[in-house]
A and B are shown apart, each in its own frame.
Chain A
Amino acid sequence: MNFNVALAGNPNCGKTTIFNHLTGARQHVGNWPGVTVERKSGHYSFGDHKFNTVDLPGTYSLTAFSAEETIVRKYLVEDRPEVVVNIVDASNLERNLFLTTQLIELGRPLVIVLNMMDMAEEKGLEIDVDTLATLLGAPVVPVIGRTGEGIDLLKEKILRVVTEQSQKSRPIKISYPRDIEAELEKISMLLEEESDDDHMRRWTSVKLLESDKQTRDEIRKRNQGQGILAQANASVERLELLFKDTGRAIVSHARYGFIQGAIRECVKENLKLSTDYSRQIDRLITNRWLGLPIFGFLMWLMFKITYDLGSIPMDWIDAGVVLLMNTVSNILPQSMFASLLVDGVIGGVGAIAVFLPNIFILFFIIAMLEDSGYMARVAFIMDRIMHNIGLHGKAFIPMIMGFGCNVPAIMGTRILESRRDRILTVLINPFMSCSARLPVYVLVGGAFFPENAATVIFSMYVLGIVVAIVSGKLFSRTILKGMSKPFVLELPPYQRPTLRSLTLHTWERGYLFIQRMGTVILVGSILIWVLGYFPQSVELSRDYDSERDQLVNTYSGKILDLNARYDASIDHARSEYHSKLVEFEASAAFLDLETQYNDLMSKFSFAQENDLLVLRQQEISEITEHRWIGKVGKLFEPIVAPLGFTWRESVALITGFIAKEIVVSTYGVLFGVGENVDEGNDGVISSLRTSGMTPVVALGFMVFTLLYTPCLATVAAIKRETGTWVYTIFSIGYSLSLAYLLAFSIKYFGGMFNWLT
């Protein structure tokens, strides 16, 4: 038979660890419908039965304030899994049991897992498992997730709960103080006329005392709804008067009262005199003076490792892509299909594939920070700063990673728990100037501000940060207003991460990148290829082929001429030496002649090469102008004209959408200097200078490059992480308008005050 098993528990209680032990590799990561909360499911077989297992999001409660809580509650109520496995951190029992009381009331068959028994022991806690099981009315299984100890017993218990009636958890009642029980009874009586079973009635009554909106809405639809709600209101009012508190707070307090009673009965605390190592480490790591420097150092190290170490396999992948492109274009006859495959698919996807090492390394480090418990401290240390932008302290990490590449940075926003924080961080992340934008600054900055290039480039970075901060404030006061949750952050004890968990986390996140990005990037690359490939036949203003022939002819003529002159000189000289060959060949005059001849020869052939190249590049430039991409550039020219941009800038910016560093190579093509320019290329620099671009416009162009629509991969990441096109399109629109506005202001005010001239 097939059974559904749901894992529920507090954040950080080791749910995912247990889930992995249960299901092994047979799992699937997706999203819960409508929200980007990860949904992990898998299955395992035990005792001839198949258990479909879902890892519910970690929550502290079921009050349905957050997306996570809503998901858990909805799943448990609507999908009614056969067993709910409640994972409880044994070293932090009291707080963890709060959720348990709610799960008990929900009435689904329950198995309670006491995880982290090793930590509890270290803390000197002795838990009487049998008494706890009796008190909670459900089987309790002690487990150590780190080692997998107790997992088999857990599987057995789950099996017995679903197969043996006698093992069904005898649903106990969470008992409340007398006054509350009296009111619950009154509500329950009215519910009795409905078809609810005992358990459901109690759950509904409690929820009504808590003025739970969902339950009230549901009751309102019933026949006796009004009467029940009237009683509920009266009960809440009475209790609120009595306890001088709100219904929900009263019930929550009462739950803790029940838990405290249970703990008194079954937990013995042996005050061990062992040192709390975690606290000692924390003393240093979050030290008033050392905390920030240590954090800064670790950030630097993370950055360094991600991009330095990553650059090694990055080169391999790059070389591999080039090799593949060459091989394929050698094998396939020249055709449209070959071009599509080589330039479109392999080139486009290859441009993104080179980021894979960075992404995997980054995810590995992040997993390390998370599993060790340091990530919570990052939030603790940086919260003061990030709070200013309306963000959680942890959001600092994706922000700083954005300087490397926005793609892993945006994927890194998963470390944030609240969806609102994730979206806000995702939206402002593209303004952190990623490394792909640097070549553009270096090129344009070098061309127009040779004296102050470094200052100009640095100011781009600063501008990006300022825009991110201002936008963050703006968003958190407007579109993302009021969704902020109070900052309550658990600081778990430090731990040595296990390799198993690290690789699993890294792979999970990295795989998503490969899987989801692949599709969007592929489509985008093909689109840009199409724009650059069609129409195939373009009418050119010059006949390049005949010009080429002419060029070759001219040089051949020159060479013929040279040869003739050389022969003549030799003949002439020889006659002077009266045919004394040996003496002649040793003479200085002869050597002179030879050198002159060789010099001229190589000069000619070099000049010919060069002229041919220039011609070829002019041709490419003109062809590009006539291709759709050039047409699009021209189409946008009137729009960007107020910024002082020409169709060239327009094309460069459009192609820069694939990856921002492409702006540089596009310029190379457009100025006919060749594709393989780097940022220091003198040809492009001098072409840029003579293209009519002014320093003011150049500055505007750099600012535009910094701010405008993030690259394709980033857009894909934004779509992936926000889960909706709404924010994705908003992000594109916002950054485009902002880029336009700022570039325009620079042009306008720059022109007005004659800056930079």
Chain B
Amino acid sequence: MFNFKKNPRHRLSLENREGLRLSDLRPGDKGRILEIGGSEQFRLRLIEMGLTRDTEVCVDKYAPLRDPMELIIKGYHLSIRGVDAQKISVELIN
């Protein structure tokens, strides 16, 4: 699902920023949320949890089986699945 480590070209895609997804980030990366896609209910749930536009989000780590991922946002830890993280476009702000 996320071949962020195995794919050497991955970093390149980070450079052009276009279409960068939260699921593309590696542990330790920081990003700024641009847009959340998906169903209305899903979007609202995430917004309620604090994933609002322009919020900084840090990828803390991935679960041992590579899914879900752990984020740090607004000072607390939140876990979401890779499929859902794919619906969130971000920009890298390292």
B-contacting residues of A (Cβ < 8 Å)? 60-61, 63, 65, 91-92, 94-95, 98, 123, 246, 248-249, 252-253, 256, 279, 283, 286-289, 291-292, 376, 379-381, 383-385, 387, 485-493
Contacts and interface: CB of A to CB of B under 8 A. Distances in A.
B44 A249 contact: yes
A268 to B, nearest CB: 14
A286 B47 contact: no
A252 B50 contact: no
Nearest to B67: A384
A60 B48 contact: yes
Contacts of A252: 44, 47-48, 52
Contacts of B42: 486
A286 B45 contact: no
A286 B64 contact: yes
B64 A94 contact: no
Given A60-B49, A487-B81, A381 B64 contact: yes
Interface in B49-75: 49-50, 52-53, 60-68, 70, 74-75
Given A95-B74, A286-B63, A488 B45 contact: yes
Contact of A253 (B47, B60, B67): B47
B75 A488 contact: no
A379 B67 CA distance: 11
Contacts of B47: 249, 252-253, 256
Given A94-B50, A98-B50, A385-B65, A491 B70 contact: yes
Nearest to A59: B48
B34 to A, nearest CB: 12
Chain B CB count within 10 A is highest, among A279, A381, A487, for: A487
Nearest to A393: B68
B16 interface: no
Nearest to A263: B74
A63 B41 CA distance: 10
Please classify how large the interface on chain B is, using the bins under 10, 10 to 19, 20 to 34, 35 or more.
20 to 34
Contacts of B45: 65, 485-486, 488
Given A383-B67, A384-B67, A253 B79 contact: no
B84 interface: yes
Nearest to A485: B45
A489 B45 CA distance: 11
A102 B65 CA distance: 37
A286 B84 contact: no
A428 to B, nearest CB: 21
Contacts of B26: none
A382 B23 CA distance: 19
B68 A380 contact: yes
Given A252-B44, A383-B67, A123 B49 contact: no
B66 A384 contact: yes
Give the interface centre of A246, A253, A384 by most chain B CB atoms within 10 Å. Answer: A384
Contact of A487 (B43, B50, B52, B68): B68
B41 A65 contact: yes
* 10 closest cross-chain pairs (CB), A and B: A384-B65, A291-B64, A491-B77, A489-B79, A61-B48, A252-B47, A94-B74, A92-B76, A384-B67, A95-B50
B50 A491 contact: no
Contacts of A279: 60
Given A65-B41, A95-B74, A384-B68, A488 B63 contact: no
The listed residue with most B CB atoms (<10 A of its CB), out of A123, A292, A491, is A491
Contacts of B80: 486-489
Interface centre among A253, A485, A486 (most CB of B within 10 A): A486
Nearest to B43: A249
A286 B65 CA distance: 10
Contact of A383 (B50, B61, B68): B68
A489 to B, nearest CB: 4
A756 B89 CA distance: 59
B50 A256 contact: yes
A123 B75 contact: yes
Given A246-B40, A384-B67, 16 more contacts: A61-B48, A94-B74, A98-B50, A252-B48, A253-B53, A256-B47, A288-B64, A380-B63, A383-B68, A384-B63, A486-B41, A486-B45, A486-B46, A487-B79, A488-B79, A490-B79
B89 to A, nearest CB: 14
9 contacts: A98-B50, A249-B43, A256-B47, A279-B60, A283-B61, A383-B81, A486-B42, A488-B45, A492-B77
A239 to B, nearest CB: 15
B50 A488 contact: no
B92 interface: no
Among the interface residues B43, B44, B66, which one has the most CB atoms of the partner chain A within 10 A?
A: B44
